[in-house]
Amino acid sequence: MTDTMRALIAGRGPDWVLDRIPIPEPGSGQVLIRNRAAAVNNADLPMLAEADPTAGGHGEEFVAGFEYAGEIAGVGDEASGWRVGVPVMGSIPSSFAEYVVADHRFVMPRPASLASEIAAALPTGLLTEHGGLAVSGFAAGQSVLITGASTGIGLIGVQVAKTLGASRVIGTTRSPDKRKLLASVGVDEVIVTSEQDLSVAVLAATDGQGVDVVLDHIAGQVFAETLPATAHDGHVVNIGRLAGPASTIDIDALSYRHLNVHGVSFGFSRDWETVGIIAGLLPEMIPAVERGLIRPVIDITLPLSRPDEIVGRLRSGQAAGKVVVAIDD
Ligand SMILES: NC(=O)c1ccc[n+]([C@@H]2O[C@H](COP(=O)([O-])OP(=O)(O)OC[C@H]3O[C@@H](n4cnc5c(N)ncnc54)[C@H](OP(=O)(O)O)[C@@H]3O)[C@@H](O)[C@H]2O)c1
């Protein structure tokens, strides 16, 4: 094994730069993972822009990326639960690299039958969508509205909700041509927000009652529109803010219906919270992945050596599902 590895570095310009850097060593409680594939997330874009020194960014360099899949390559002290060679996946910073170091408690087993290039697109979606449903107290038999069901993580959220026994999943997109995609992952009722009024359409689809749980990936005024579309005592969980963080809400819609509003940002979770989120999902989600009930939708797989194409696809806004990065060319 050489001492250096290839990685995509942010903080040098508008795009990631492919470079060689030292292979990290696992410290106490950590494992070293030989990474085979990574996946791109929407949050990679603002982080890249904020670091760009040519456009007033902070210029602090870091290895980009949040999701990986590969196998254990080294085990530090106090991480003896893992063995070299075990297939794994997970969500951790600095994943656009040949090797990743992770807290052993945050690593998820990867079913051996699941190729790294598919598995890499799952961890953030599994953690976020399962975590969002858990925060809401979701129970089998309840109905779920997923705004931005066409997002990379929303497409996984639909399947997570179905696996956990959702009676009905309603999903939104702005794009009429994504109806089929949403239906293919299990959305029962697709609402196209560029053509339909979100609140009216959800109430029509639920006999005027509204849904029990909302997973909101969009925020902005879409968040406000979910409130009158939520059943009495229901839960609205904001996950993403693709339409911006500000929203003008009708507090009557919130209060008269006794709604519960939650915000989650799992990237900012404290370690003990992350441990609980992962422990909560493993028993049901990993067997469901093994049985093929949950699969990421992959838009395209591109090699690590083409950072311009990777970021270009993300910036295009045209990706249907996840952009995967194959680590080895
Ligand atoms: N809370 C957490 O812990 C957590 C974790 C991971 C991600 N997130 C957040 O979740 C969101 C989704 O992430 P992702 O990586 O899965 O996204 P993504 O795959 O990049 O989503 C892209 C899709 O979102 C829709 N979209 C984009 N801008 C929109 C807008 N202004 N209004 C409505 N729809 C819009 C478009 O679909 P259509 O054309 O079909 O409308 C687009 O194809 C992001 O905001 C991300 O930061 C949060």
Interval 62-99: pLDDT, tens: 999 999 999 999 999 999 899 999 999 999 999 999 99
pLDDT at 51: 98
Q: Which atom of ligand 1 is nearest to the CA of 244?
A: 31
Task: Specify whether 65 is located in the same domain as 133.
Answer: no
Same domain, 139 and 263: yes
Residue 91 sits in the same domain as residue 174:
no
Ligand 1, atom 13, lies closest to the CA of: 42
Atom 29 of ligand 1 has which residue's CA nearest to it? 242
Question: Which residue type, as a one-letter code, is found at position 238?
Answer: N
- To test the ligand 1 pocket, which listed residue (41, 242, 266) has its Cβ within 8 A of the most ligand atoms? 242
List the residue whose alpha carbon is closest to atom 5 of ligand 1: 128
Q: What is the CA radius of gyration of the chain?
A: 20
For tokens 């709604």, name the residue: 259
Q: Is residue 289 part of a domain?
A: no
Residue 287 lies in a domain: no
Protein residues with CB under 6 Å of any ligand 1 atom: 41-43, 124, 128, 148, 150-153, 173-175, 178, 217-218, 239-243, 264-267, 317
% of the chain residues with pLDDT over 70? 100
My answer on whether 175 and 247 are in the same domain is: yes
- Residue 2 is predicted with a pLDDT of 82
Residues 107 and 139 in one domain: no
Structure token digits, residue 113: 């039958």
Q: Which of 230, 248, 267 lies at the terminal end of a domain, its last residue?
A: 267
Quick check: is 220 in a domain?
A: yes
Give the per-residue pLDDT at 1: 61
Shared domain for 148 and 240, answered yes or no, is: yes
pLDDT for the residue numbered 267:
84
How many folded domains does the chain comprise? 2
pTM of the full predicted structure? 0.97
Give dist(CA 257, CA 232) in Å, integer.
Answer: 4
> Do 229 and 214 reside in the same domain of the chain?
yes
Q: With contact defined as beta carbons under 8 Å apart, do 26 and 54 qualify?
A: no
Instruction: Output the residue whose Cα is nearest ligand 1's atom 46.
Output: 240
Model pLDDT, residue 87: 98
Check whether residue 237 and residue 204 sit in a common domain.
yes
Residue 283 lies in a domain: no
The answer to whether residues 111 and 134 belong to one domain is: no
Residue 148 CA to ligand 1 center (angstroms) comes to 6
* DSSP-derived 3-state class of residue 279: helix
- Residue stretches of the chain with pLDDT short of 70: 1
pLDDT, tens digit, for every residue of 35-46?
999 999 999 999
> Ligand 1 mean position to 238 CA, how many Å?
12
Q: Can you tell me whether residue 8 is helix, strand or coil?
A: strand
Looking at residue 98, its pLDDT comes to 98
Please check whether residue 286 lies inside any domain of the structure.
Answer: no
Residue 151 CA to ligand 1 centre (angstroms): 5
Instruction: Give the mutation target among 40, 95, 124, 153 for probing the ligand 1 site: most ligand atoms within 8 A of CB.
Output: 153
Residues 55 and 133 in one domain: no
pLDDT in tens, 142-182: 999 999 999 999 999 999 999 999 999 999 999 999 999 99
Does one domain contain both 182 and 242? yes
Would residue 210 count as lying in a domain?
yes
What's the rounded Cα separation, in Å, for the pair 276 and 316?
A: 36
Same domain, 162 and 118: no
CA distances from 207 to 143, 203, 222 (A): 12, 6, 21
**Which domain does 136 fall in, by range?**
125-267
Which strand (E) or helix (H) includes residue 290? helix 271-290
Residue 272 in domain:
no
Residue 117 phi, psi dihedral angles, 5° rounding: -70, -15
Here the CATH number for the domain that contains residue 25 is 3.90.180.10
CATH number of the structural domain spanning residue 245 = 3.40.50.720
> What distance in Å separates the CA atoms of residue 33 and residue 35, rounded to the nearest whole number?
6
Please name the residues in contact with 308: beta carbons below 8 A apart, sequence gap of 6 or more. 15
Contact between 124 and 44 under an 8 Å Cβ cutoff? The reply is no
Q: Is residue 318 part of a domain?
A: yes
